[in-house]
Structure 1
């Protein structure tokens, strides 16, 4: 029989402060970001709760609750309402977690329950944790965090700090002053209007229609995971560099170009149509006013467009170089323009209507890429070794690629592709498509 234990973990140091979230945070909506880490050795639930309570003193937002003020601006009340922590003994063993994907238990088995439509209220924790003890040994640590608080980089930093606290190691105190980001727009030219290149101000009807479409079409999607070995990626970059007109490209540029070349024909769009590539980018490195220990959302995106006819004639190296140039256009000035635009929408009372344009384009002609290769998922160590596997929930939008590191840390990578089921079946079942996917193997 399964045994479940649920409690709220608190730091014991409620400040009562109301910390306003910055305008970029507010665009993330109620979505939760999930991770599941698989450990071969068992984790101690009581010890994890104890170290979590201690680290929450440095992360008061995570044990607080989101609320809106009279103007609709999002705040976090640091009242130490607690982190939802669930511990369970499972009948599933480790062997069942490492078999072929279609025979594995659902990842939701190992993730804590998280509301995907609610954000504000005492009953909505901003962080939820689930520890599952597998039959025969081993543990799975599942985590859900509201995206309004942190992007992937900050999310991972919290986990590493928790592990450091658990092991009695020092770590840097994070900076939670969200005004540092909003304040960068002081003195910027007015960014008026309801449209900009990255965001759109949607009506209530448009927003509801988009969210309904995401909910309905999510059932028709399938996540396909493919692994690219280090030698394969090396050959891919060499092939791209051989046809490179000029400049330098990274391995990620070459892999992204390869995926774009592959998935474009899979959509079988006409030669006169246009394909879009959207790549998420962290801008914290080129905004020098933001301290290194700033903890929150510091992401933007870059977009590249090519006619299908031009893509067909474009070499891997040229496409990779175009991607590199597009990434280079994400300057500090562009980030400040975005922040200034979002501040204008907040002042005009339109903050809750702002949505990323990439969500709309996911259902038309865009491949979205989130490259997490440099995030140290596999450095997470609570004293019994690092995880041998990190799994992500399904992305509820089509034509999305998440690039992940691998536990071997040898330069190989995993790509999680969210595709319509028909496209996923073609890619995985037909040898010609598999040969094209791994043409550099």
Structure 2
């Protein structure tokens, strides 16, 4: 019999503090980031709610609510309004979840309900969870978290801390002092009036035109997933290194270069047209002012521009090296300048108008890559073993690549591609494109 249960999970320790989010947090908008973890063993809903309540004492923002002050600055009121926790039995069995993609149930059935267009309000949780016990055994744990609170690294750390609390293991108390990040701008040159390479100040009309375009275009996209085995990636990196002009590259550099070459051919633009590669980068490791336990958003973007003709003539190794150089340009000084620019916009009252340029360029000439391969998704263990699958919801942005680890932890990668439907059909259905995709297999 299908059973559904919904409740608010609270820590029981409301502080009433209003924590202002940093200027980088505020650029993330109302978007929620979703994950679904598939476990072969059943998870106990009551025990999960109990451990979630306990871990929320270390994560008061997650059980709070977002609000804006009189100046429009985004805060979180730590009033312990609670995390939405749904539990619903499913008639789907584990076999259906592991079947061919065409036979799998919709991922949305395993994710909690979450507003993707609203952020501020007492009824809008910043974290929502759904537990789905499967017919015949096994469970799916779905999570939605507002991006204004955390990037992928911090998101994963919260899940690992929740699992540690659940198992009675120690974990490090996170740092929620958002002024640490905003304070980086104190020593940076003034950015007033300067054009920023990553952000743009959009008018209300431009902002809503972009959001409307995203909503309309999302229906014309398809997410396809491919897997690159460890030996395939090893061969790919060797091939790149063989004609590398100089220096070191990572496996991720080689894979990103390979994908860039592939999509350059798929897009088939004129030789003179500019192609942009945007790679998301975590800058927390090279800022000594940010403690290791800082919990929030610490991501920026690097951009590599080449014409289609230059890219076609560029070897895999040289492209990988250019990507490595581009990523290396994200220095501490670069991060400070970026924070300074965003802080200037806040002081000028333009914070709500700031938008990532990457969103605009996704509809013109950009391939966006988010490499999460080093994040420990498959270390998540609530006492009955790690998940055998981590699934991501559809990305409503074209030409977006998400690189994920695999449960084998052998260096293989799972790559999620958000593509126009015609391109996705060509890539998955035509043997010549599949051969090119896996030319190093």
TM-score, structure 1 length as denominator?
Answer: 1.00
In structure 2, the residue matched to 1:121 is 121
1:283 touches 1:300 (CA, 8 Å); kept in 2? yes
Measured in 1, the distance between the counterparts of 2:416 and 2:189 equals 40
Give the secondary-structure state (helix, strand or coil) at the position aligned to 1:249. Answer: coil
Alpha-carbon distance, 1:189 to partner: 1.5
User: What pairs with 1:220-231 in structure 2 (closer than 5 Å)?
Assistant: 220-231=220-231
Measured in 1, the distance between the counterparts of 2:5 and 2:358 equals 40
My pick for the range that moved more, 184-193 or 216-225, is: 184-193
1:32 touches 1:145 (CA, 8 Å); kept in 2? yes
Q: Does 1:38 align with 2:38?
A: yes
In structure 1, the residue matched to 2:98 is 98
In structure 1, the residue matched to 2:21 is 21
User: What pairs with 1:247-266 in structure 2 (closer than 5 Å)?
Assistant: 247-266=247-266
Measured in 1, the distance between the counterparts of 2:195 and 2:108 equals 37
Measured in 1, the distance between the counterparts of 2:209 and 2:231 equals 45
Alpha-carbon distance, 1:268 to partner: 1.4
In structure 1, the residue matched to 2:211 is 211
Deviations 1:132-173 (A, max 9, x none): 000000000000000000000000000000000000000000
Q: Does 1:234 align with 2:234?
A: yes
Alpha-carbon distance, 1:9 to partner: 0.1
In structure 2, the residue matched to 1:315 is 315
In structure 2, the residue matched to 1:199 is 199
In structure 2, the residue matched to 1:71 is 71
In structure 2, the residue matched to 1:4 is 4
In structure 2, the residue matched to 1:398 is 398
Deviations 1:357-386 (A, max 9, x none): 000000001000000000000000000000
Deviations 1:148-205 (A, max 9, x none): 0000000000000000000000000000000000011113211112631000000000
In structure 1, the residue matched to 2:379 is 379
Measured in 2, the distance between the counterparts of 1:261 and 1:97 equals 33
1:85 touches 1:129 (CA, 8 Å); kept in 2? yes
1:200 touches 1:355 (CA, 8 Å); kept in 2? yes
Measured in 2, the distance between the counterparts of 1:261 and 1:102 equals 28
1:32 touches 1:144 (CA, 8 Å); kept in 2? yes
Over the aligned positions, Cα root-mean-square deviation in angstroms equals 0.6
1:195 touches 1:201 (CA, 8 Å); kept in 2? no
Measured in 1, the distance between the counterparts of 2:343 and 2:102 equals 45
Measured in 2, the distance between the counterparts of 1:227 and 1:352 equals 39
Give the secondary-structure state (helix, strand or coil) at the position aligned to 2:118. Answer: coil
Measured in 1, the distance between the counterparts of 2:147 and 2:2 equals 31
Alpha-carbon distance, 1:272 to partner: 1.2
Any unmatched runs of 5+ in structure 1?
none
1:280 touches 1:300 (CA, 8 Å); kept in 2? yes
1:55 touches 1:161 (CA, 8 Å); kept in 2? yes
In structure 2, the residue matched to 1:288 is 288
Q: Does 1:420 align with 2:408?
A: no
Measured in 1, the distance between the counterparts of 2:153 and 2:272 equals 38
Moved over 6 A (4+): none
Aligned length in residues: 441
Give the secondary-structure state (helix, strand or coil) at the position aligned to 1:135. Answer: coil
In structure 1, the residue matched to 2:159 is 159
Alpha-carbon distance, 1:5 to partner: 0.3
In structure 1, the residue matched to 2:138 is 138
Any unmatched runs of 5+ in structure 2?
none
In structure 2, the residue matched to 1:175 is 175
In structure 2, the residue matched to 1:80 is 80
Give the secondary-structure state (helix, strand or coil) at the position aligned to 1:213. Answer: helix
User: What pairs with 1:300-379 in structure 2 (closer than 5 Å)?
Assistant: 300-379=300-379
Give the secondary-structure state (helix, strand or coil) at the position aligned to 2:92. Answer: strand
